[in-house]
Chains A and B, each alone.
Chain A
């Protein structure tokens, strides 16, 4: 059974960088069948796709966040990470990591989510 677990600080100051890591267990991150994705959800609002990464390191980002986002992968640790720079209160959200099946372009497994609050 695949499991994904987000980890990282729950509080980040405005203008600083947000960093989260997703640890994957129960299956290898190095697989041609999947993309690894970050999605966020501001409190009381809808889901927003941030970006994804292939095990090879190829990345794709939301146009609206592209200038501030970096997603990386560490296949040796079976982890992938998110870095979002110059955060503001608008970046306060629950951040989910998920697995995307490349053939279906759908997200079949999700982490439990990690609330990150941007506040001084």
Chain B
């Protein structure tokens, strides 16, 4: 299966919001509510921040929120902080016990 499509980059000033899209197909994002999001700082392992489209694990600030419409999922980071500067990846269940990641988006805090 093909990788989910994310914009290569996004940016915002401190305190502003940034939204990242993640586009798939009816076989992955559109077919299931198993979209998750991960934050990765340089040289570090990814960190789990959203599951099942819009749920936050314990300890993740409510500045991070997720949504889905059709074949596209989105992650919004509100009240941007310098520490939010990182790469962000979406992931989706793709049926038949397969999974797919997004291409990744680099978020820059201006």
Contacts and interface: CB of A to CB of B under 8 A. Distances in A.
B89 interface: yes
A46 B45 contact: no
Interface residues of B, number: 24
A22 B49 CA distance: 23
B101 A46 contact: yes
Contacts of A110: 45-48
B89 A46 contact: yes
Interface in A75-120: 96, 101, 104-113
Overall SS of chain B's interface: strand
A38 to B, nearest CB: 11
B23 interface: no
29 contacts: A46-B3, A46-B101, A46-B104, A47-B38, A47-B46, A47-B101, A48-B3, A48-B101, A49-B98, A49-B101, A60-B98, A96-B45, A104-B34, A104-B36, A104-B55, A105-B34, A105-B36, A105-B93, A105-B99, A106-B36, A106-B51, A107-B36, A107-B46, A107-B48, A108-B48, A108-B57, A109-B48, A110-B47, A112-B45
